[in-house]
Chains A and B, each alone.
Chain A
Amino acid sequence: MATPLTLKELSKKEELFTHGHRMCAGCGAPTIVKMVLLATEYPVVAANATGCLEVSTCISEYTAWKIPWIHTAFENAAATLSGVETMYRSLKKQGKIDKDVKFIAFGGDGGTYDIGFQSLSGAMERGHDMIYICYDNGAYMNTGIQRSSATPMGADTTTCPAGSCVPGKLRPRKNLTKIMAEHNIPYAAQASPSHWMDLMKKVRKAHELPGAKFLNVISPCNRGWRSKTNDAITLSRLAVNTCYWPLYEIEEGITKVTYTPKEKLPLLDFIKPQGRFKHLFEPGNEWLLKAMQEEVDREWAKLQAAEKCGC
């Protein structure tokens, strides 16, 4: 029987992601991996695209993973895992394996939204039985905070530095969860580590559905977001409550919002604690703050409309 989703029962399970990894203090990604592996009730094989998570959980002879884990290049976590999953299906057919094994690919937003996009799109289209989990921290944090297509509008990064020429990134972020859902996959969802129960339920649901699944999880990065080391969970909660990062799932094309904030907070509450947005409070940049709020409102309205019409 599956472990009940209570912290007391979950804490009795073996943690398959150990301490001693070298992610920064206060990083959101290890918490996400821990939650995903705690929610998983099957033997699991993971592939990891190059990124913070990959380089700092497996250094030389030290690995933080207690599961079979494959390091891949930046662009091909989904392709590598497709091959592994195909091999597993073949061995199962030949009667050499009888266990039910699940497959998870982890990638950062750089390795998912940009560099790994084509291999991810291919794996989703072919329908390999796996979950691809993107921990989205909104820039190439590992190489020094370069902009990615997941970087929010207005953010200061080293490749779109806020200054006299540009006030940070001018383009809105790419909505990857929706793009993945458009591959007609059985399940695509967005989650946040602050809402651990929602995240774990989504992981469990994804494991039970056959085919390719995609999960996008917000992962605060105090180095890149220029925030405090202790606010990863607080910031991810604010992202949800301001509707910057709405929690929803798209199952067989049907959108469902899994968490509606009691009170939708202004986007300012989310961006104020982050140094990467501090230039937005200088005179002359008010229009950008307004544009960012409008974009969030528009996306939230679209999501609610999609839920209402059942599409």
Chain B
Amino acid sequence: MKQKGWKDLPPGSVILEGGSAARFKTGSWRAFRPVWIEENCIQCLFCWIYCPDMAVKVKDGKRTEFDYDFCKGCGICALECPGKKGKKAIEMVEEGK
């Protein structure tokens, strides 16, 4: 992004566009990647509510894929996932493997 001079910025450096952070991708921070295993998913949505990075996509009340553009790989979702019959629906995999 090209840096703006003081003449280009709104007075008081107010940000006029809400939620503009969605253009800043934080996915590159990740060292471990969560992988969703659909057949073990009971759609409890705990991963969605506990995700600090709003990186679990939900459509019509059902979770879909992870948003890897923003997931920082903290692993909270995998730890909190209750899974089905003792099998977790989210696993953490090292990036690059």
Contacts and interface: CB of A to CB of B under 8 A. Distances in A.
Given A63-B18, A65-B18, A231-B79, A7 B45 contact: yes
A8 interface: yes
A230 B78 contact: yes
A1 interface: no
B20 A19 contact: no
Contacts of B50: 31, 193, 196, 233
Interface in A126-185: none
A34 to B, nearest CB: 7
A202 to B, nearest CB: 16
Nearest to A31: B52
Contact of A28 (B22, B52, B67, B75): B52
B25 interface: yes
B70 A19 contact: yes
B26 interface: yes
A8 B18 CA distance: 25
A233 B4 CA distance: 40
Contact of B23 (A16, A62, A65, A233): A62
Contacts of B61: 8-9, 11-12
Given A8-B61, A15-B54, A66 B18 contact: yes
B26 A229 contact: no
B41 interface: no
A25 B50 CA distance: 12
Contacts of A30: 52-54
A64 B65 CA distance: 22
Contacts of B4: 61
A112 B78 CA distance: 32
Contacts of B55: 19
Interface in A1-51: 7-12, 15-31, 34-35
Interface of B: 1, 4, 15, 17-26, 29-30, 44-46, 48-55, 58, 60-61, 67, 69-70, 72-76, 78-80, 92
Given A7-B48, A9-B61, 6 more contacts: A18-B22, A19-B67, A25-B74, A63-B20, A64-B19, A232-B74
